Structure 1
Amino acid sequence: MFGANVPVVEVGTVPDDGYLLDVREDDEWRAGHAPQAVHIPLHELSQRAGEVPQDRQVYVICRVGGRSAQAVQALNDAGWQAANVAGGMSAWALAGRGMASETGTDPKVV
């Protein structure tokens, strides 16, 4: 599926002040996301890549890791330093990392 050029990091190693890029769809984001994450859906990334800093490590997350792997490959091929967050938001929630929602209800991964 993806080559060895897709670096992977564990959820627990993502620093609280790290640049976390969430590439899930709007409904997934609204249901639950990391409070510090920046939301750019995967289908918008090519047009909005300029919003992603190139001078620091980028941690990319989706629901379980497939879409974020695509984003990491594209970003790294274009000169960024990006890594896929293993297990995505599912692993993030299981690890007890902070979450927020935009729905007024308890955050969840959908």
Structure 2
Amino acid sequence: MIAFFRNLVSGLQGPPSLSPQEAQALVTSGAVLLDVRSAAERKALSIPGSTHIPLGDLPARLTTLPKGRIIVCQCASGARSAQATRLLTDAGLDARNLGGGITAWRGAGLPTR
């Protein structure tokens, strides 16, 4: 019974999140950085080298994502990317969430454009 509640609570908390430095290390070693924000948000600020698929388009574009590579999902604050991470994980892909999104990435002094 305790295991049931532990699983329930962990599901509500969302997927584990990466720090900006952990995310950058994964991307440097070949992970895909997936930006799930809107086109307008991406135009205003983005992380160089990231792939853009808005969250609403993601279910229809799952087959365009590489299998066998880690996918680091990124949004503005980490909420939408947590949803994307769950969607990708449920589809059998190896996905991680960038905690704090591009806001945390930029706050860590990592490159943006």
| TM-score of the alignment, normalized to the shorter chain, above 0.5 | yes
Which consecutive residues of structure 2, in runs of 5 or more, have no partner in the other structure? 1-8
6, 16, 29: which one aligns with 2:15: 6
1:5 to 1:90, Cα distance in 2 relative to 1, 3 A: closer
Q: CA deviation at 1:8?
A: 1.5
Q: Contact between 1:58 and 1:81, CA under 8 Å: does it hold in 2?
A: yes
The structure 1 segments of at least 4 consecutive aligned residues displaced by more than 6 Å after TM superposition are none
TM-score by length of 1: 0.84
Give the superposed CA RMSD: 1.7
Q: Contact between 1:57 and 1:81, CA under 8 Å: does it hold in 2?
A: yes
Greater length-normalized contact order (CA 8 Å, ≥ 6 residues apart): 1
What is the 5 A alignment of 1:1-110?
3=11, 6-14=15-23, 15=25, 16=28, 17-100=30-113
Distance in 1 between residues matched to 2:106 and 2:16, nearest whole Å: 21
Q: Percent identity?
A: 37
Report the number of matched residues: 100
1:32 to 1:2, Cα distance in 2 relative to 1, 3 A: farther
TM-score by length of 2: 0.82
Structure whose residues are more often helix by fraction: 2
Please state whether the residue corresponding to 1:99 is helix, strand or coil.
coil
Which consecutive residues of structure 1, in runs of 5 or more, have no partner in the other structure? 101-110
Q: Contact between 2:32 and 2:70, CA under 8 Å: does it hold in 1?
A: yes
Q: Contact between 2:14 and 2:82, CA under 8 Å: does it hold in 1?
A: no
Letter in 2 for 1:80: L
Q: Contact between 1:2 and 1:69, CA under 8 Å: does it hold in 2?
A: no
